[in-house]
Amino acid sequence: MREVEPNSLDAIIDAARVGDHPTHEDRERNKRALFAKIAGATAAGGSIVASSTTTAAAPALATTAAAVATSTALTAKLAGAAVVLTLASVGAGVAYTRRSAPARPASASAIDRHTQSSHQSISSPSAPSIARRAAPLPARAAMDPAPQPPATDTLAAQRAANTVTAQPARPAVSAAAPQAATSARAGHTTRVAQSAPSTLADELTLLRSARGALARSDTTAALATLDRYAQQFSRGMLRPEALSLRVDALCAAGQRERARAVASELAREAHGAPLVERALRACR
Amino acid sequence: MQLALAAIDSNPPAATGAAEDASEPLSFEGVYSDHFDFVWRSARRLGVPQASLDDCVQDVFLVVHRRLSDFEGRSSVRTWLFGIVRRVVRDHRATARERATTSDTVELSQLVDTRSEAPDESAARAEATRILNALLETLDDDKREAFVLSELEQFSVPEIAEATGVNVNTVYARVRAARRELEQALARLRHSQQWTQRCAK
């Protein structure tokens, strides 16, 4: 706050006018989610009428539908747990907040096809522990070569449930769903302990890189690195540290509310840790 | 959200005034890529919380997608878009208020960053944005919309009148009142302990 004198409304307005823009990531994330919604609504016979532009957008859907699971939202309170989990699994390996969700969509939809490879590694519906540990990075990379936005909270998966009009889970899966749902609800505290099959050194490398970027005030690079960490180590051993860094980076980037959301998430996951106290104070 | 979209559809924004070049039909992708930033920051400035910002922006473009063929080019695209944005935003904010929980709410004072370091210009801008958004929270929707369009987007007064469906005199009055209230809000912040600390540095 050295360039902008706090005692001038005009100075604040001038600075805010040029300083308030979406990031590339914001643009891409929304584009994927939006086009998936449009295509989904059209395919479902919804009220959104397909235009010629939808045809142009359709190819994008192949790589974007799976990414819907990471779009942020608030509106999925009504989604049934099984449905939520079903779609959460669509984002398996994508959303770092993914709860254990072995269920998979019944249909051979585009989403299903494009997440097939990731499901192969977690396809045992009665073994949520396998799903938790799975970090299908190669599969993920294959199914979504586009830059992957960060998942910000569990609502992302819920939103996907609302958005894509979830298919009912297969009967074989339904028995596992309530179990998984329970685990999802309790997951905040147990998740951290369930470490991903990652190597600590690799995790550290990424986090050091993020910290370095942050030290240079390069919040974009820091957040991008943290996104990469989240993708690669959705159950990483240093996940609390990564979340803490993300809070710092978001604060520095001016995304205060998002920072607070991440801090809250960290507080749920790593209750009592010194990091939490620090994160909750981060933007003050 | 279906209800919200239906409500929006039944209440199209005013579309009179400045002419847009309507010789070529607009493509959805073109509108999206040209105006995503405008829609995004407008939603933000009108007070959509970060957590539902993506949702809101996407809802706006869903309406745009559905209604693009109705756009008659009698107003500028941005004016037309803002008419949609403000309706979607109001709906989102109403929903957010209904669902607000302790963990979701942010106190005004907490919105103002008190970090001691602002190492570069972009951080300073980000901080200015944060402060301004906090200040904007003190305005009602009408004044906020008028102020955002006038001071931040630099719309002309007739354009604002069109986008918000009121006459130009009302726009002038709202912008004036908004500025007065923002100055007062800033003064309150300045006198808070946080400002005292900051200014002492």
Per-residue pLDDT of chain A (284 residues; tens, 9 = 90+): 444 445 588 888 888 887 778 888 888 888 888 888 887 766 555 444 333 333 333 333 333 333 333 333 333 333 333 333 333 333 333 333 333 333 333 333 333 333 333 333 333 333 333 333 333 333 333 333 344 444 433 334 444 444 333 344 333 333 344 444 434 434 433 343 344 344 667 777 888 888 888 888 889 999 999 999 888 887 777 788 888 889 989 988 888 888 888 888 888 777 666 667 777 777 76
Same domain as A242, residue A206: yes
**Across the strands, what pairs with A169?**
A105
Q: Report which secondary-structure segment, H or E, holds A23.
A: none
Structural domain contains residue A16: no
Same domain as B5, residue B46: yes
pLDDT in tens, B134-182: 899 899 999 999 999 999 999 999 999 999 999 999 999 999 999 999 9
CB contact under 8 A, B58 and A257: no
Same domain as B65, residue B150: no
Is residue A152 less than 8 Å (CB to CB) from chain B? yes
Is residue B4 less than 8 Å (CB to CB) from chain A? no
- In degrees rounded to 5, what are phi and psi of residue B159? -65, -40
Strand segments, DSSP code E, in chain A are: none
Same domain as B91, residue B44: yes
Domain termination site, one of B59, B89, B105:
B105
Its domain, for residue A148, covers 24-190
Same domain as B179, residue B100: no
Q: What is the mean pLDDT of chain B?
A: 77
CB atoms within 10 A of CB A259: 23
- B182: nearest CB among A9, A34, A53: A9
Is residue A13 less than 8 Å (CB to CB) from chain B? yes
Same domain as A153, residue A265: no
Q: CATH number for the domain including B36?
A: 1.10.1740.10
Domain termination site, one of A190, A213, A229:
A190
Same domain as A260, residue A165: no
Structural domain contains residue A17: no
In total, how many domains does chain B have?
A: 2
Residues 155-174 of B with CB under 8 A from A: none
Domain termination site, one of B49, B82, B105:
B105
CB atoms within 10 A of CB B183: 12
**C-alpha torsion sign, points A91, A94, A99, A100:** positive
Structural domain contains residue A8: no
pLDDT in tens, A6-62: 558 888 888 888 777 888 888 888 888 888 888 776 655 544 433 333 333 333 333
Contact list, B130 vs chain A (CB under 8 Å):
254, 256
From A59, A54, A72, select the one nearest A265 (Cα to Cα). Answer: A72
Q: Compute the distance between CA of residue B59 and CA of residue A71 in angstroms, rounded to an integer.
A: 13
DSSP string, B24-73: SPPPHHHHHHHHHHHHHHHHHHTT--HHHHHHHHHHHHHHHHHHGGG--S
Note whether ipTM > 0.90 here. Answer: no
In total, how many domains does chain A have?
A: 2
Q: CATH number for the domain including B155?
A: 1.10.10.10
Same domain as A184, residue A64: yes
Cβ-contact B98, B18 below 8 angstroms: no
- B130: nearest CB among A26, A57, A256: A256
Structural domain contains residue A1: no
Its domain, for residue B127, covers 108-201
Cβ-contact B164, B86 below 8 angstroms: yes
CB contact under 8 A, A1 and B99: no
Same domain as A70, residue A208: no
Same domain as B73, residue B9: yes
CB contact under 8 A, B152 and A4: no
Structural domain contains residue A130: yes
- In degrees rounded to 5, what are phi and psi of residue A198? -120, 165
- Residue A155 structure tokens: 């609502």
Same domain as B76, residue B21: yes
Same domain as B179, residue B199: yes
Same domain as A103, residue A223: no
**C-alpha torsion sign, points B142, B166, B95, B36:** negative
CB contact under 8 A, A74 and B99: yes
Same domain as A165, residue A53: yes
Amino acid (1-letter code) at residue A276 = V
Structural domain contains residue A6: no
Is residue B29 less than 8 Å (CB to CB) from chain A? yes
Domain termination site, one of B105, B122, B144:
B105
Same domain as A223, residue A150: no
Structural domain contains residue A106: yes
Structural domain contains residue A209: yes
Same domain as B96, residue B46: yes
